[in-house]
Amino acid sequence: MQAEHTAIDTAFIDLSDKRYLFTDQRGIDTLADSVGRVGLINPPILQMRQNGDYRVVSGFRRVSACIRLNFRQIPARTIGSEADFLYCIRIAVADNASARALSLAEQRRLVEKLYDLCGSKEAVSSALDQIGVFMPGELVEKFIRISTLPPAVQEGYAENYISLNTALAMESMSRASAEAVARLFEILRPTVNRQKEILGGLNDLAGRQGITIESVLRSREFADILEAMDIDRGRRMHLLRSEIYKRRYPALSSAEAEFFRHKNNLGLEEGMDLKPPQNFEDTTYTVILRFSSTRQLCCQAETLGRICRNPDLEVILKREIEDQQDLY
């Protein structure tokens, strides 16, 4: 089936028909400037609909740029209404792939459109082969799973503030919980490792309390953190992680707070530090001295003498957490 080259009135092109749209729709300012200077070098591909107007097969940005420039007519390659979906999507893929490789987001949207048409992973893989797109079956399956998630999660993945694995880890959540986490990640934009940490913490808290993650995030402490627009994102991330940690490990968090309160009263000089045992599971503390001269070392030695007589050190060293107490 050959595409015909003809001039089409832009008034008869329906940009709202996104049947074949799977590419990233970046801004058209630069493209419009180029078309305004040298004209439309690569005409879009359109398909006539049964009512006589046209849908875009490939070239949404090109058509948008021409409409912005008030072009009444544009050159186009047209395909008849009898052309099926796979034929047209193959043309769209070929037209876009000739300029650059498809991004992961574009591959995902392509799989979603094919899945809507075909209904199974096997049929999607077969269709991808027919249109000349190589994609591992495992990736096809993950993209299909993404397409079944709530729109807020899909948007987060599409906008790159929710990773693929994080999105898939949200499959078992209720819609409300998944949307609450998606909003959290949209606000804080955590790294992939932070997403994994936060999601694990929220799952643990919800499981312990027998409630949903949405309910956890609705609590006053978490809501205050997310609504504190006067605090920068990094600080809110720190507060969120601290709140999750405090709730997951209340006894350990309390022991740490008590240690640092007494440590601040010791009068440690610059270059000196006192480290507690890891998770307070031992009774051995570590003193760190950093010095660049014998005089500085002697001053630190005098300070250590005063610290040894400080009652706050006695409180630290006599800290007792019963063996049966659940630190975690």
pLDDT digits (tens, 9 = 90+) for 235-281: 999 999 999 998 888 888 888 888 999 999 999 988 999 999 887 87
Residue 154 placed within a domain = no
**Tens-digit pLDDT profile for residues 144-167:** 999 889 999 999 998 889 999 999
Q: How far apart are CA 242 and CA 135, in angstroms?
A: 41
Q: What is the CA radius of gyration of the chain?
A: 30
Q: Which residue range is the domain that position 140 belongs to?
A: 101-148
Domain co-membership, 106 together with 92: no
Which CATH number belongs to the domain containing residue 18 in this structure?
Answer: 3.90.1530.10
81 & 106 share domain? no
Q: Which helix (H) or strand (E) holds 308?
A: helix 294-308
The pTM for the full model equals 0.66
Domain check: are 226 and 288 in the same one?
Answer: no
> Long-range contacts made by residues 111-114, C-beta under 8 angstroms, separation at least 24?
111/135, 111/140, 111/143, 111/144, 111/147, 112/22, 112/143, 112/144, 112/146, 112/147, 113/19, 113/20, 113/22, 113/89, 114/89
Q: Are residues 170 and 235 in the same domain?
A: yes
pLDDT score recorded for residue 324: 36
Whether residue 106 sits in one domain with residue 95: no
pLDDT at 202: 95
- Work out how many domains the chain is built from and give that number: 4
Q: Is residue 259 part of a domain?
A: no
209-216 average pLDDT score: 93
190 and 212, same domain (yes or no): yes
For 81-90, write each residue's pLDDT tens digit: 888 888 888 8
Tokens 């199974």 locate to 120
Q: What angle do CA 210, 215, 221 make, to 5 degrees?
A: 115
pLDDT grade for 99, boundaries at 50, 70 and 90: low
> Same domain, yes or no, for 175 and 89?
no
> Do 106 and 57 fall into the same domain?
no
Are 1 and 91 within one domain?
A: yes
Q: Within this chain, do residues 74 and 20 fall inside the same structural domain, yes or no?
A: yes
- Output the CA–CA distances (angstroms, integers) from residue 94 to 25, 113, 130, 305, 318, in the order listed: 17, 16, 12, 78, 73
- The residue out of 148, 179, 212 marking a domain boundary is 148
Would you state the structure tokens that stand for residue 228, as one six-digit string?
A: 């504190």
Domain boundary among 189, 221, 248: 248
